[in-house]
Amino acid sequence: MLSGKQNVWNKRKQCLDNVPEFHSDEISSPIVTDNHFTSKMTFDVTFKDYADNKC
């Protein structure tokens, strides 16, 4: 589990640097209740090194 903005940013950059091909993405309509919401995110990507993917 990551904590701290810089650690989260670094992990995000590490993951994106391992994606040479981004094919598509989809985000569903949000489901909202009181002060919370959720939505489904789907990505179709090709990783440089699938075995080393820790995203």
Residue 55 belongs to some domain of the structure: no
Q: Is the pLDDT of residue 25 over 80?
A: yes
Residue 22: exposure state from Cβ atoms within 10 A (0-12, 13-18, ≥19): exposed
- Say which residue, 29 or 6, is predicted with more confidence: 29
41: containing domain: 5-49
On whether residue 54 sits in a domain, the answer given is no
Residue 33 belongs to a domain: yes
Q: Does the pLDDT of residue 28 top 70, yes or no?
A: yes
Q: Does residue 26 lie in a domain region?
A: yes
- Structure confidence at residue 33 as a pLDDT band (50, 70, 90): very high
Q: Torsions phi, psi of 13, nearest 5?
A: -65, -40
The mean predicted confidence, pLDDT, of the chain is: 87
Q: Is there a domain that residue 27 lies in?
A: yes
Q: Tell me how many domains the chain contains.
A: 1
pTM of this structure: 0.53
